[in-house]
Structure 1
Amino acid sequence: MDTEIIIRHKDDLERMLLDGSAEPTYLPLSLLEDITNCFSDAQRIGSGGFAVVYKGIVGKGIVAVKKLSQPYGMHEDKFLKEVGCLVKAKHKNIVRFLGYCSDTQGRLANYEGKVIMADLRNWLLCFEYVPNGSLDKYITDASCRLEWRKRYNIIKGICEGLLHLHELRILHLDLKPANILVDEHMAPKIADFGLSRCLDKEQTRVFTSNLCGSQGYLAPEFFGGQVAFASDIYSLGVIIVEMLTGKKGYSEDENVVDTWMNRLEGLDQWETQLEQVRVCIKIGIECMNSDPKKRPVASHITDMLGNIANAVETGIDSSSIEHQVCFLKEQYCEEKIADLSSESIGKDIKECFEMEELAEHVREDHWQEEEEEAPVDQWSLSWKLQSSSNSGMLHKLKNMDIFGRKARRDFYQRIGGSVLKRTNQFKFFEKRELKPVLKYENLSLKDGFGEIYKGLVDNVPITVRKLISKTVGDNAALLNEIIIQSQVIHKNIVRLRGCCLESDTPMLVYDFLSTDSLDDILHINIMVPLKLGVRLSIAATSAGALAYAHSKASTKPLHGDLKPANILFNGNFVPKIFGFGILRMTGMGTHNIDDMSYMDPVYLETGLLTEKSDVYSFGVIILELLTRKKASHSDNNSLVRSFLENHKQGRKTTELFDKQIAVTGDLVLLDNLAEIAVECLNLEAERRPEMKDVAERLERLKKVKHLQDELEQHVRHLK
């Protein structure tokens, strides 16, 4: 396209930026290439599993151009559905859609030694540029960053944007802080409609066999293969709780209110703002109800938020409010028991109905104090919740310590104890037992998931991982994952020996760990020679340990954060894998991952962690063993990308191999190892091999290398 035509289209796009009523339009590829400087790295502002976002300069304005990497498993109908949702959704709290591009061009390519004409498809979307990035950068506790007024306006804006989508019968299905952008006025804008669905007039839900979304924000019904408007509401609840606490999961409302009360006291309109806090707590908790039918609809939520000022002005009867608190506390307790009963822990959890009896005692005690019957419609009054800070009922609940640290520890011990006691040498530690280990001088590592300490308990060396970003509500998933990981007993996997659940930051106790890792010997101690036989042994042994974990069909222990730094050595380069299950224990998705270079792109896109996610990560590890190069380079080019590009073009990857092992006699072995890596790194997860197959093939390569070495040694001896 000539320059004049590009200029004309650029002028049209610039006018669209100034005219908020302008309709989205088709944008030619040449225009999008021009405004992004041919999609240069300098213009790159974000990326996901299957898309990269670039900044586009249009006159004095800026746009965001999302380039979909669809050749890897994305179908055209998915692109058309996303465009269809974007064209319909026009709201101040939804990112503005400006246009799209669907362009197919013929390109010569080398395929299995033959030159063919391949279709190169370009699918792109153009949006308004939102300068302050995504909401996940602003998720903190009440002590810092955003003041309450801004947080509340963000929550209210998200709710209004979601209501608009649901009125259009659009399911978002991937609502999370990373998909909510924040403009220069701190107004939220819902973005990323790649998983969205538009429902027909009479349609109320969607059935799907492909579980997509982001871990930690998925509603429980996702796992049953059906989604509805209530599924978005669940995700909204998680976001609201994060905005209130800086953490995922359920939080005791009196603790959150106390925190915000301390911060808001003395400010103008503090009563109104404190009431907003209380209402948002209730909305968040109710949205996260495990039963979709009990979650509020979007219109009810926006009504509740809009009625707060009236509630403060008119005043509400405190006795109804106190009953409301008691009822919701009791309901939460019963729901947590019901939820945990489905977590494959079995009949042992029935012991925990003692908690139901305790809740019943609180209810009976409370009803003796009430003169009037509590209202039946709890949702019509929940926005009016206005209990005083010296509430007698809340004080009683606190004194009984239903949700306190000791009760929480005992509660989870009763749930998991009968299962864990059958696991050899697993122990529930008390915080005082671990206190001598949790000293600064014993701190050996700090990463995105917490702190790691090494020390002695009863003269036995142990390693303690102190988690971060945990809440009471997350402990159900945490305990279930602990039960799964406690049953993983393998000589090449670091053993989980116990845990401590007394505090708000749960602690995991492992066997004592070495400080040497595969990352150290590959990239830090680079002067240490590392023969091919040793590398094959490390790969085969590690693969065997992963295959063992994946073979436990009843529990499916997954790693989720597999990388060289988590492959430790116990002398003579014998590997032991560390960190199994940490991603699911924390429930934080990829927020805490230090290096995304090892993460499965399919997991990053869908949020669904599977055995094939570990296979992809292992493929990256094989590449590092082959090349002795880091997965990410300082020149913004990844090792995986370079390797797969070479393979796709049919070029030999010999130049990427580490010179120390790229000797003539071993090139066939290296090519076989490279082929395994290619299969593990397939961007279509279902086409990746099972870890069992990978382990068997690596074991064969190891044996071949061992025989070669023995033969060479025998020949040298004869000489």
Structure 2
Amino acid sequence: MDCKASATREDLEFILLNEDAEPKPLPLSLLVDITSDFSDKNIIGRGGFAIVYKGSIGNRTVAVKRLLHFDENGFQREIKCLMKVKHQNVVRFLGYCNETRGKMAGFKGTLVMAQEEERLLCFQYLSKGGLNNYINAGLTSTSSAQYFTHGSETGKHTFGGYMAPEFIDSNPENRAITKKCDLYSLGVIIMELLTGTRTPCAVNDVLDSWISQLGESKTKAQLEQIKECAQIAIECSNPKAENRPLDTKHIIDRLQKVESAQGTQLQSAASKLLLQVHPTFLVFELQPAGKLTPCLLHLTNDTDEDMEFKIRIEEGVDRRWSEQFGEQRFSGFGIVAARSAYTLILTVSWERDDIPENRFCEMILESWPNQDSYSEANKEEVKLTAYLSTQHRQSTAIPTVNKKQL
């Protein structure tokens, strides 16, 4: 793959300014020039496999990744993959260099012309110092460690929290980045996007934090997305590789399933329902022991007929939820008069040691015209989700998140 490229500064600047431009082979002389011969002053990142330099193109900047160790076949595969990836959330790949140059070096007491192989990749420059700073920019003011840091005392490279345990613990000479390693890194990044920290957080804690900060603007679709992403992050960052998801296709299928379900909900919401229901995601913010935790459910009847309704919980729900919404303490039925609104106050009461592990409860609100007898043919159903938030009982370690991330 060794080749002499002829791209110029103008060519590289054109690629940088035009998102539709394809990456090109870049001459080593050009990359040497724009990095001031790979000056230490231009180093912006250092890892076990590469050093990243800042390169200047006029008044613009690029990042040049100079590989320290590489496998020729692996290098070619990486270029092929990078050239296929084009996404607004992925750093743009601008070009590559694969050259061999002669360099005088000492050998057995004399100078000889040695062949020095250079493998480099050129990317869009991130002005905030690194990907993790971009991730944290809208999430937390706390600075995070770089992907890789260089241990000045030991001379060994210390890997940040993005690398899989099996990679870090393996013999450096036999280290290999596998698909399972990639999944681990993906899980850490997703968790960092959700919480501002790489530390694994329970799904409920992630939801509590977002619910608190989204306030009244939260929607069921948003919270379902957060829940699924948090679960994926936890599974991907499992310390044991065999317990991580099978592959990225499995993850994409799960995300598409959530998106598809939300599309169905939107279609139902857009259609003419017997009763308009708001909200469909009911958040019960846990109160001190002995106090009732209320949540308001608003029903609106825009038709010219009275509408009956009843609420039932789905089968398989934790018994403690069943006890909260059982017939003995919960009258989940009534009539909403024509052209009127009805507010139902739902309450729960939990003892400190009796909070269910699954803080979700799926319910169904059924409605039908009052003059008709209840039947499967004339009823409508709206799915409700109840969630028990412990945000008021205990504060989580999750930092402030940015609503714009959703």
Question: What's the TM-score bracket when you normalise by the shorter of the two chains?
Answer: 0.5 to 0.7
Show the 5 A alignment for 1:102-113: 102-113=98-109
Partner Cα separation in structure 1 for residue 126 and residue 48 of structure 2: 21
**1:139/1:61 CA distance change after superposition, 3 Å:** closer
Structure 2: any 5+ residue segments left out of the alignment? 149-158, 270-276, 283-316, 327-345, 358-394, 398-406
- Partner secondary structure for residue 254 of structure 1: helix
* Structure-to-structure mapping, 1:519-558, within 5 angstroms: none
Q: 1:26: Cα distance to partner?
A: 1.6
Call closer, same or farther: CA 1:62–1:298 in 2, change over 3 Å: same
Judged with a 3 Å threshold, the aligned counterparts in structure 2 of structure 1 residues 392 and 15 are, in CA distance, closer, same or farther, namely same
* Candidates 184, 202, 218, aligned match of 2:164: 218
Aligned residue among 64, 83, 89 for 1:87: 83
TM-score (norm 2): 0.52
Q: 1:84 is aligned with what amino acid? A: K
Provide the rounded CA distance (Å) in 2 between the counterparts of 1:391 and 1:142: 36
Please point out which of 195, 202, 206 is paired with 1:245.
Answer: 195
For the residue of structure 2 that corresponds to 1:105, the secondary structure is: strand
Q: Is the CA contact 2:26–2:95 (under 8 Å) kept in the aligned structure 1?
A: yes
2:226 and 2:261 map into 1 onto residues whose CA distance is 10
Equivalent pairs: percent with the same residue?
35
Three-state SS of the structure 2 residue aligned to 1:263 is: helix
Aligned equivalents of 1:17 and 1:144: distance in 2? 30
Q: 1:65 deviation in Å?
A: 1.2
Q: Compared with structure 1, are the counterparts of its residues 97 and 250 closer, same or farther at alpha carbon in structure 2 (3 Å cutoff)?
A: closer
The CA deviation at 1:51 is: 1.8
Name the one with the larger strand percent. Answer: 2
Q: 1:285 aligns with which of 234, 255, 259?
A: 234
Cα distance between partner residues in 2 of 1:36 and 1:227 = 29
Q: Is it true that 1:303 corresponds to 2:256 in the alignment?
A: yes
Q: Which residue of 1 aligns with 2:21?
A: 22
Q: Do the aligned residues in 2 keep the contact of 1:238 with 1:248 (CA within 8 Å)?
A: yes
Equivalent residue number for residue 261 of structure 1: 211
Question: Over aligned residue pairs, what C-alpha RMSD do you find?
Answer: 4.9
Distance 1:311 1:240, change over 3 A: farther
Shift of 1:177: 8.6
User: CA separation in 1, counterparts of 2:98 and 2:32?
Assistant: 13
Q: Give the conservation status (yes or no) of the 8 Å contact 1:275–1:308.
A: no
Deviation of the 1:119 alpha carbon: 1.6
CA distance in 2, matches of 1:49, 1:391: 56
Q: CA deviation at 1:92?
A: 3.0
Shift of 1:311: 7.4
CA–CA separation in structure 1 for the residues paired with 2:117 and 2:244: 40
1:121 alignment partner, one of 117, 122, 145:
117
Q: Provide the rounded CA distance (Å) in 2 between the counterparts of 1:370 and 1:37.
A: 71
CA gap of 1:139–1:401, structure 2 versus 1, over 3 A, is: farther
CA distance, structure 2, for counterparts of residue 392 and residue 222 of structure 1: 47
Unaligned runs of 5+ in 1: 147-175, 180-212, 323-361, 372-389, 404-502, 506-719
Residues 270 and 402 (structure 1), Cα distance of their counterparts in 2 relative to 1, 3 Å cut: closer
Q: Using CA pairs below 8 Å that are at least 6 residues apart, which structure has the higher relative contact order?
A: 2
Q: For the residues of structure 2 that align with 1:112 and 1:400, how far apart are their CA atoms?
A: 77
In the other structure, the counterpart of 1:100 is 96
Q: What CA distance in whole angstroms lies between the structure 1 residues aligned with 2:166 and 2:79?
A: 28
CA contact (8 A) 2:183 2:236 kept: yes
Q: Distance in 2 between matches of 1:113 and 1:301?
A: 63
Counting only pairs closer than 5 Å after superposition, residues 246-645 of structure 1 correspond to structure 2 as 246-266=196-216, 268-269=217-218, 273-288=222-237, 291-292=243-244, 297-304=250-257, 306-307=259-260, 310=263, 395=350, 399-400=353-354
Residues 312/14 of structure 1: CA separation in 2 closer, same or farther (3 Å cut): same
Q: Can you list the C-alpha shifts for 1:619-671, whole angstroms capped at 9, x where unaligned?
A: xxxxxxxxxxxxxxxxxxxxxxxxxxxxxxxxxxxxxxxxxxxxxxxxxxxxx
Distance 2:136 2:38 in 1: 33
Q: Secondary structure at the match of 1:285?
A: helix
Q: What per-residue deviation string (whole Å, max 9, x for no partner) do you get for residues 401-447 of structure 1?
A: 788xxxxxxxxxxxxxxxxxxxxxxxxxxxxxxxxxxxxxxxxxxxx
- Kindly indicate which of the two structures has a greater share of residues assigned to helix: 1
Q: Which amino acid aligns with 2:60?
A: G
Instruction: Find the aligned partners of 1:402 and 1:285 in 2 and give their Cα distance.
Output: 20
Aligned letter for 1:101? C
Please give the alpha-carbon distance, in whole angstroms, between the structure 1 residues aligned to 2:67 and 2:130: 19
Structure 1 counterpart of 2:47, one-letter code: G
* Alignment size in residue pairs: 276
Equivalent residues of 1:28, 1:101 under 8 A apart: yes
Offset of 1:297 from its aligned partner?
1.4
Q: String of CA shifts for 1:422-477, please: whole Å, max 9, x gaps.
A: xxxxxxxxxxxxxxxxxxxxxxxxxxxxxxxxxxxxxxxxxxxxxxxxxxxxxxxx
SS of residue matched to 2:15: helix
Task: Give a deviation string over 1:331-376, Cα, whole Å, max 9, x none.
Answer: xxxxxxxxxxxxxxxxxxxxxxxxxxxxxxx9565677899xxxxx
Give the letter aligned to residue 261 of structure 1. Answer: I
Structure 2: distance between partners of 1:113 and 1:34? 32
* Paired position in structure 2 for 1:166: none
- Shift of residue 223, structure 1, vs aligned partner: 8.3
Corresponding position of 1:652: none
Deviation track 1:537-570 (CA, whole Å, cap 9, x = no partner) reads xxxxxxxxxxxxxxxxxxxxxxxxxxxxxxxxxx
Q: Are the aligned partners of 1:65 and 1:127 in contact in 2 as well (CA < 8 Å)? A: yes
Would the aligned equivalents of 2:63 and 2:122 in 1 still touch at CA under 8 Å?
yes
Deviations 1:167-224 (CA, angstroms, capped at 9, x unpaired): xxxxxxxxx9949xxxxxxxxxxxxxxxxxxxxxxxxxxxxxxxxx866642779989
| Conserved 8 A contact 2:184-2:237 | yes
Alpha-carbon shift at residue 90 of structure 1 (Å): 3.0
Query: What does residue 61 of structure 2 align with?
Result: 62
